[in-house]
Structures are given as C-alpha cells and as structure tokens.
Chains A and B, each alone.
Chain A
Amino acid sequence: MTNGKDPYVILGVQRSATEEEVKQAYKTLVKKYHPDQYQDNPLRDVASEKMAEVNEAYDEIINAIRNGEASSRFSASANFNSSYVRELIQTGNITEADSILSSVDPARRDAEWYFLKGSVCYKRGWFNEAYENFARASQINPGNAEYAAAFNQLGSQRNGQMNGMPSGYYQNRNADAFNCCCDLICLDSCCECMGGDLIPCC
C-alpha cells in the first residue's frame, strides 16, 4: 500500500479520471522521477522512493478502475449510491442528483453527502449554501483532500479573491501615510544634498 497516502493525490489526477488520463499522468511522473536521470546525484534515493510510490499508486488506481469502483473507493458513503450521484453531477443532471440527495435520511448524512450537496449547490450557483455544505464536509472529514480543496477554493473567493485580476496595475501602493512620510524625508535629504532644504526642521 502507499503508506496511507491517497493514490489520486500522488498521481495528481481527479477521482473521476479515465484510464487514459491516469496512464498519461503516470507517464509524466515516470519521466520526472526515473532513477536513471539521477545517477551520481544525491537526490537519487528520494527519486527512487518517489518512483516506487508512483508505481504503487498507479497499480492501485488502475485496478480500481478495472474493477469499476474508481470513484467510490476513497470517499464512499454507505448510505446512498455516491458514485451514481457524482456521475449525475458531472453530466449536469443537477435536479436528479439533488432529489436523490434529498431523499437521504437527515440522520444518516455523512461528509460525502455534504460534499455532494455542496457540489449540487455550487453548480446551481447557490454559493452560500454550497459554502456551508463544503465547510460541513471538511469539518466531518478533515483528512479528505477533495473536500478541503472545494472548501478552500470557495473560501478564498469568499475573502475577495478574484481570478485574473491584473496584478499591480490597480494597486496604489504609495497612498498610505507612512510611505508619504518616507518619501518626504527622502526628498528632504535629496534637497539637502544639493544645498537646498525642503523640511527646515530636519
């Protein structure tokens, strides 16, 4: 086993990835970590360790896909058919997914349920509800990378982050009082160098 690490994280693929995508990701990683590249290099041990990890993760995922249980393996829920709901969400059948989720007994709702409910809301554009559900999911199961990623993405946007904002272009850095004083003192020093004086008292 891969020491308890999530094989999907190791390969850097989505849980819903197809066999082709997994193979592609595997090939890139093999190129990156292949021990032959690190001959006479102190990183060699690390690389071979990584390589072994990648191999194991690859085997595990490919087996899972071939056994037809890829998406339900790591964040399955015992209370409803979560891989089917995931498929519905991915194909955009939001109403159907939502009705399945709503039919689950409130007492039996687990982290996976909250995550999927959040995804449904997210797709719909109901971001407030989505955020609450993602928060709940990652609170119940803090170890799950997928829940945490969804929660963090919406969380950072909630704090005002906007993608693609032209950097630096819109920021007025010199506007605060401290910088203003610094600039004045600099200007004063320059003037004094040239024999003049801007601020007579200093």
Chain B
Amino acid sequence: MFGYIRAYKPYMRVFEYEIYKSVYCGVCKDMGRRLGNLTRFSLTYDSAFLALFEHSVRGTKVCVKNERCIAHPLKKTMCAGCGNDFSYASYVSALLVWHKLKDDMLDGGAVKKLISAAGMLIFRKAYKKANAQYPTLSREISEAMELQRAVEQEKCAGIDQASEPTAMIMRSVFTRIGRNKKERELLARFGYCLGRFVYITDALDDLRSDVKSGSYNPLVIFMKSLGIEWDGSGKLPREVQDFCTASVNMTLGQLADCYVALDPRRFRDILDNIIYLGLKNTFRLVREERFHKRNNSKKGKAEI
C-alpha cells in the first residue's frame, strides 16, 4: 500500500534479489494483462511481498524466464511471467488503490480531490473486476476505511485504536492466503501485525506535515499527552521516536512469532530478509527521515 514492506538489499544474495525482482516484475505484468496497463504504475513492493508470501505459504513454484519489460525495453530481465498465478496480488493491489483514492476523494484537499478523481477514472474498470472477484474482501476494506474516517474525525484515538483499520485490512488480505483453519488464524494475526506496522510507520512518516497542517495524527495526541511542544521544525522529538520504536518492535516481535509458527518453506531466505531486516530498515529510514528520496540531501549516497 505504501511501499514500506521491502527487502534490505545489502544483505540479499544476488540470486535472491533476482527472484525477488522477477516476482515484482511478474506481478506488474499480471496487472497489465488482467487490469489494464495504466494500473501497473500503482505497483509497490508490498504487492511483490504479498505474491511471494502467498506462493511461499501455499508452496507453489514460480517459474522465471528472461523477458522484456516496458520499464527496460532494450534489456531482457529475469521475470516471473505468464506461467505464474499472481492474480491475488494484482486484485488486492487494485482494491487497495481504489479505496485509497476514494478516501482521498472524500476528505482530501482540492488538489488531492482532482488527482484522486483522475486516478479513479483509470482504476474504475480494474476495481470492478477485482470487486467481482473478491466481493467480501472489497466490502471489508471499505468498512475499515469508514472506521478510519470515523477515527480521524474523532481526533482522540491513541495509536492502538488508530492503527486498527489498517491492521484489519491487512488481516483480511492475508487471511485469504491460508488453506486451513490453523493457517488462517496465524495469517490473520500476521496480517494484523503487518498492518499495524505499516500504520505506525506511516504515522511517523507523516508526522511533520500533519503537525504543520494540523491534521489528525495519533502521534500528535501522544505528544499532547506528554506535554511536548513541537512545531514541525528541526528533528523529530526524541520521545516520539522512542515511542514509535517501542510500538514497532512489539508489533514486529508478535509478527515474527506468527511467522515462525507458520513456517513457510519456499523463498524462506527472501522472506527472512524482508521480515527480520527489511521492515526494521524501513522503519529506521523513516525515523531518520531518509525513507523518501526527497529527504536525501547527499547525492550518490546509496540507501535502499
């Protein structure tokens, strides 16, 4: 949804990185085929993770071929193309993007409204297809989005309550991967924790702009409860950083418990990398405000 779920490249082996990229490429192609070429621009590494995780839990093979890609038309790259079933990741991606756009449309500013209206035009067909394919999932997502709006309007929820809607969405998404009751239970908690992680990271990521614009952010509530004054300039307050680190660590600890219990076999090293290193790395970058390219002042400094 936000691209927070990604691998930590320096610790990946080359062949793992190639598989990872080829799955990303495969999902992209699948989206293009299934839902229209324009939807491909909404692809994030989160969808690649979902596809990888789904194949890992179900134990299905992924076949990889050398293919061309619109992003690199001259060079053939490794791509998990036609032979694989990435439909779930594509549909979920379309559903999430659509509901996000709809959310922006309902309570964004004028510019945001315009952009999301344009986006919705592009995604209308894709959404219809995905909605027909997974009607309950779509309904659960829109319910969670409504809950999210209610929380935002109330403007008093703490981080636990505020992260619930996102966590519930991810819970719905991941539960559907499971093949039996036990797996579904574990995946439900796994998804919940993952969603919670995404929400907390996003809240920290947006904190500066939210403080400046006066929008709702659970961390603002947290700062108020501690009596911290921060006007959005200079470094993020130490207490907020520590609070987020503790929350994220607990969430990831629980996530790891579910992951160990699930014990997916295929692509284990790649998943290990994402779960044990990638997520923490993303959070660290966000905490140090280096996650977005616009924040990296030093040119040529490699940071993934």
Which residues of A pack against B, CB within 8 Å?
Answer: 121, 125-129, 131, 154, 156-166, 170
> Contacts A160-B249, A163-B257 given: A129-B160 contact, CB under 8 Å?
yes
What mask results when residues 160 to 179 of chain B are scored 1 for a CB within 8 Å of chain A, else 0? Answer: 11001001000000000000
What mask results when residues 135 to 170 of chain B are scored 1 for a CB within 8 Å of chain A, else 0? Answer: 000000000000000000000001111001001000
Q: Which among A127, A164, A165, A166 is the interface contact of B254 at CB below 8 angstroms?
A: A127
* Cβ-based interface call for B196 (8 A): yes
Asked if residues A131 and B250 are in contact (CB atoms below 8 Å), the reply is: yes
* Cβ-based interface call for B201 (8 A): no
CA distance A170 to B281 in the complex (A): 13
* Cβ-based interface call for B118 (8 A): no
CA distance A161 to B277 in the complex (A): 12
Q: Which among A127, A158, A170 is the interface contact of B277 at CB below 8 angstroms?
A: A170
Asked if residues A159 and B249 are in contact (CB atoms below 8 Å), the reply is: yes
What mask results when residues 267 to 288 of chain B are scored 1 for a CB within 8 Å of chain A, else 0? Answer: 0000010011100100000000
Closest 6 CB pairs of A and B: A157-B253, A126-B160, A164-B260, A162-B256, A127-B250, A163-B256
A109 to chain B, nearest CB (A): 19
Chain B residue with the shortest CB-CB distance to A121: B160
Given contacts A127-B250, A128-B158, A163-B257, 5 further A-B contacts (CB under 8 A): A125-B189, A156-B253, A157-B249, A157-B250, A158-B250
What mask results when residues 245 to 264 of chain B are scored 1 for a CB within 8 Å of chain A, else 0? Answer: 01101111111110110000
Which residues of B pack against A, CB within 8 Å?
Answer: 11, 158-161, 164, 167, 189, 192-193, 196, 246-247, 249-257, 259-260, 272, 275-277, 280
Chain B residues with CB under 8 A of A129: 158, 160
Chain A residues with CB under 8 A of B257: 163
Q: Which among B192, B247, B252, B272 is the interface contact of A128 at CB below 8 angstroms?
A: B247
Chain A interface main SS type: loop
Asked if residues B256 and A128 are in contact (CB atoms below 8 Å), the reply is: no
A-B contact pairs, 22 of them (CB 8 A): A125-B164, A125-B189, A125-B192, A125-B196, A126-B160, A127-B250, A127-B254, A128-B158, A128-B159, A128-B160, A157-B249, A157-B250, A161-B249, A162-B275, A163-B256, A163-B257, A164-B256, A164-B259, A164-B260, A165-B276, A170-B276, A170-B277
Q: Which among A126, A128, A163, A166 is the interface contact of B253 at CB below 8 angstroms?
A: A163
Asked if residues B276 and A162 are in contact (CB atoms below 8 Å), the reply is: yes
B156 to chain A, nearest CB (A): 15
CA distance A156 to B275 in the complex (A): 18
CA distance A170 to B158 in the complex (A): 34
Asked if residues B160 and A161 are in contact (CB atoms below 8 Å), the reply is: no
Chain B residues with CB under 8 A of A170: 11, 276-277
CA distance A129 to B218 in the complex (A): 14
B274 to chain A, nearest CB (A): 12
B255 to chain A, nearest CB (A): 8
CA distance A159 to B254 in the complex (A): 12
B201 to chain A, nearest CB (A): 15
A149 to chain B, nearest CB (A): 15
Chain B residues with CB under 8 A of A165: 256, 272, 276
A118 to chain B, nearest CB (A): 12
Chain B residues with CB under 8 A of A157: 249-250, 252-254
Asked if residues B249 and A158 are in contact (CB atoms below 8 Å), the reply is: yes
Chain A residues with CB under 8 A of B277: 170
B284 to chain A, nearest CB (A): 11
Q: Which among B250, B272, B280 is the interface contact of A154 at CB below 8 angstroms?
A: B250
B153 to chain A, nearest CB (A): 20
Asked if residues B192 and A158 are in contact (CB atoms below 8 Å), the reply is: no
